[in-house]
Structure 1
C-alpha cells in the first residue's frame, strides 16, 4: 500500500493550503476515559483488573499485572491524571491526529459512569489546551443498564438520552474545541443498542439548536443518521481468527454503502486481541493479527482512498480489547509513526517520527514535580509546532535531573572516620567542587573534580566532631555530614 500513500502525496503537490485542508480528512482517535489507577486513587479500577488481574503484583520485568496483552509505555494510568492527559494529547499533536472521539456513557449514576463523565470533562480541557478537537461517541447501551438496575423506568429511556444530549450541548458542543462539520456538531453512537428508531433519536436531539451530524455503527439508523462508520468486525471471526480476506470483504461492503452517505467516516485499526476469556469475563470476540503494522496501514489507506471526511482511529487506548495505538512496550511508537506518515502524505506536518519521543520525556519530568514552569514552556512550544525548542528545553532539564540524581548517589566512606575519607560520586556528569566546612562555616578542605570522576579523597581536620560536606555541580548541590572520631 506504500504506492497509495505516494499517490496521495503526488496529488497534493502544488496544491494550495486551502485545497490541502479541504482534501485531507480529519483523523480522530477513539478514546477510552475509563481507567482508574493508583497512586492517583487508592484503588485499581475494573478496566485494569477485570476482577481477575492484580496490578499490585509486579513481575521480574517491572511490569504490573493488568488486564491487557499490551503494556502502556508509561505503565497503567488514571484517566483523570492531568499529566497523562497532557502526554496523550501531545502524542496526538505530534502524530498529526486532529482530535479525539471520547467513548461516553452519559450522565447517569451507575457503576463507573460518573467517573468516566468526570474524566471526559478533563479530557476536553486537555484537548482544547493542545489545540485539538473533541467529539462524543454515545454508548446508548447505558440506557438499558440504567433500566435493568432500577435507576430509571423503561419509559424514561428517551428522556434520559435527551438529558445526556443536553449535557453534551452544554458542556462541549458550544465550546471552541468541539468537532463540527459544515457548522453542525459531530456525534457518534456505538450502536444503537437501545434506542432503535430514528424518531427516538430525533427527540433526544431536540435540545440542539443545530441538528448534529449523527453517525452510527455499521448501518444507518433511518430518519436520524447521516452515515455510519466501520469497526473491527469480530462477529465475522466466529470467536476465532478474522482473516485479512474476510476483513477486506467487510470493508468493501462498508465503503460501497458509504459512497451514498451524506457524511463519510472511515476507520483504521491495528488489530484485535481481547483478554476477556483469560479474565473470566466472557468468551473472546476473536483475533485479528497486527501483522507487524500491516493491518493498521491497510485500513488507514483504505479509509483515506475511499474519500472519507473523517478517519476514526480505533482505538487510542482500549487495552482490554487489544486495539491500541497509544505507545506500548510491545510495539512502542510503530502505530503512531504509521499514522504520522499517512497524515504527512496529505498535509504538511512540522514534526518527525523522532519528535514522538518528546511527550514521554515531558511526562517523566512532570512526575518529578520540580520543573512545572519550564515544562509549561516546553509544552507550549510543542503545541505550537516547534519541537526543536521543546527538545532544547528538555535537554537542559534532563541534564539538571541527571546531575541531581548523580548527586543523590554521593556516599562517604568510611563515615564516621578517624582519617581520610573517600567521597564516592557515582555517575556525576558535570565538573564539581567538593568542600568541607566546620560548624562555624569555615572551609577546612576543598577539591575540584572533573566530570566523570568516580571519587575524590578528603582528609578532615584531626579535631573530632561533625563537619559539613558540600558537593556542587553547576547550579545543583548536595550536602552531607562527616563525623570525625579519634
Structure 2
C-alpha cells in the first residue's frame, strides 16, 4: 500500500470513529430537507456581505476574466514569490480564483459563517445573455445553490444600468429588459426561504439607479410583479425612485472622520441599511480602467472597526459589509496575503461568535486540500466529511481528519 492510500485509510478510520458523515452529510438524499446548523451570535445586528460573482480563472473556466486582468495585467505571469500578475493592489490568500468553482463557493461561505455573517448581498447584473452579464448570472447561481446548505441568507443588489446594453443588442426597450430581470427574481429568488425579507417583503437594492432616474420608470418596471419588493437605492438616490422606495443604503465614506456616514445616519428619515468598509484603494488607473475614485486608508483594520462602531452608535439593525471581494477597488474583506484574516477577526468580535482565527485558518486548509487532491476520489470523499463537520460547527472533528492529510 502506498503512502497516500495508507493516510487515507487512517483518516477514514478516524472519521468513522468520530461518527462519520452518513447521518449528517447534507449531500445525502434521504428524502428529508436538510436543516443547517446556525452560528450563535451575541450581537443581533444583521450583517450582510456585498459579494462580487465576477471572477474567472484559467484553471477552471479556461481563461482569465477581465476583473483579474483589467486592461494590462496578465495572470499567466508569475513573479519570484509565486504570485500571479493580477489587477489589484492586494492578493487573495488562496490566489486568484473562479466564482463558479464549487470549492471556492464553500470556502467563501464557510469563512462568512464562522465570522458571524448572516447573508450575502450579491452584485447582480441580471439574466440576459449580453456581454459578461450572463456569466455573472451563472456564477450567482453557483453561489445561491449552496446557501441553503451553509445556512446563510441572500439578497440582490441590482445593477440596473445593464438594461441599456441589453436593449441595444436585443431590440427591446430598457424597461422590458429590466422587467424580465425582475420577473426572474420574483419567480426564482424572492420566494426562497433564505431570501432576505424586510419584514414580509423581499429586499431589493439597486446600485444607483444610474439608468432609470424617473419614479414612473420604476412604477412601470414593478408593474409586472405580483407584489412590489422593499426597494432601496444608494444613498442620495431616493429622489429617482419616488414612492417605490422605502429608504436608502450607505456605501463608502472616504472621510477619515466618517462625516458622511454620521450625517446620513443622523438625518435621513427613511429606512437605513448602514455600511462598513475596511478601506478603498482601487487599481483602475494602474489597470487602464479610468482615473479611479479615491482612497481610504485601511489603517491596519481601524477603519473597518470604526465604521462598524459608528453603525452600532446609531443602533442600526442592518449593516452591509463593503465588500467581500472587490479586489479592483481594494475593499476586500476576504483573507489576503497583506491582511490575512484581520477583517474577519474584527467581524468575529463585533458579531459575538465564539470562534477565532483558528477556525478561519481551518477553512482555508480545507480549501487548499480540495485543490491539492483534486484528482484523488478517496481523499475528496474524506473532504466531503470535513465539509460536513465544518458546516455543522464541529471544527475539532474536521481538524482531526485534515491533520492526517
Q: TM-score of the superposition, structure 2-length normalised?
A: 0.85
> Could you tell me which of 362, 369, 388 is aligned with 1:365?
369
Q: Indicate how the Cα distance of structure 1 residues 23 and 48 shifts in structure 2: closer, same or farther if over 3 A, else same.
A: closer
* SS of equivalent residue, structure 1 residue 360: helix
Question: Comparing 284-293 with 200-209, which one deviates more in the overlay?
Answer: 200-209
Question: Would you say the 8 A contact 2:158–2:205 is kept in 1?
Answer: yes
Greater Rg over alpha carbons, structure: 1
Over the residues paired in the alignment, what is the CA RMSD in angstroms?
1.8
Matched, 1:103 2:107: no
Structure 1 residue aligned with 2:395, among 387, 390, 402? 387
> SS state of the match for residue 202, structure 1?
helix
Match of 1:151 among 148, 163, 170: 170
Q: Which residue of 2 aligns with 1:124?
A: 144
3-state secondary structure, aligned to 1:75: coil
Unpaired segments ≥5 residues, structure 2? 1-39
Greater relative contact order (Cα < 8 A, sep 6+) = 2
In structure 1, the partner of 2:27 is none
2:310 corresponds to which residue?
A: 302
Counterpart Cα distance in 2 of 1:163 and 1:205:
10
2:197 corresponds to 1:180: yes
1:257 matched residue in structure 2: 267
Which residue is 1:190 aligned to? 207
Structure 1 CA distance, aligned partners of 2:203 and 2:262? 24
Distance 2:363 2:340 in 1: 13
Given that 1:29 and 1:315 are in contact with CA atoms closer than 8 Å, whether structure 2 keeps it comes out as yes
- Following the alignment from structure 1 to structure 2, what is the Cα–Cα distance between the partners of residues 387 and 303? 31
- Any stretches of 5+ residues in structure 1 without a counterpart? 1-19, 234-241, 399-486
Could you say what secondary structure the match of 2:302 adopts?
A: helix
Residue 155 of structure 2: which of 135, 147, 150 is its match?
A: 135
SS in 1 for 2:61: coil
Equivalent runs, 1:73-88 vs 2, <5 Å: 73-88=93-108
| SS of equivalent to 1:186 | strand
Tell whether the 8 Å contact from 1:351 to 1:387 is kept in structure 2 after alignment: no
User: Is the 2:276–2:320 Cα contact (8 Å) retained in structure 1?
Assistant: yes
Compare the two structures and name the one with the higher strand fraction: 1
Q: Work out whether residues 43 and 350 of structure 2, in 8 Å CA contact, stay in contact via their aligned partners in 1.
A: no
1:169 to 176, 181, 186: 186
**In structure 1, how many angstroms separate the alpha carbons of the residues matched to 2:97 and 2:389?**
25
State the distance in 2 between where 1:22 and 1:91 align: 18
Q: Contact 1:215 / 1:226 at 8 angstroms: preserved in 2? A: yes
What displacement does 1:310 show?
1.4
Matched residue SS, 1:264: strand
Superposed, 1:213-252 pairs within 5 Å as 213-219=230-236, 220=238, 221-233=241-253, 242-245=254-257, 248-252=258-262
Q: TM-score scaled to structure 1, two decimals?
A: 0.71
Q: Deviations over 1:360-381 (max 9, x none)?
A: 1111111112322222222222
What is the CA-CA distance between 1:109 and the residue it aligns to?
A: 2.2
* Cα 1:82–1:284 shift into 2, 3 Å: same
Q: 1:78 Cα shift?
A: 0.6
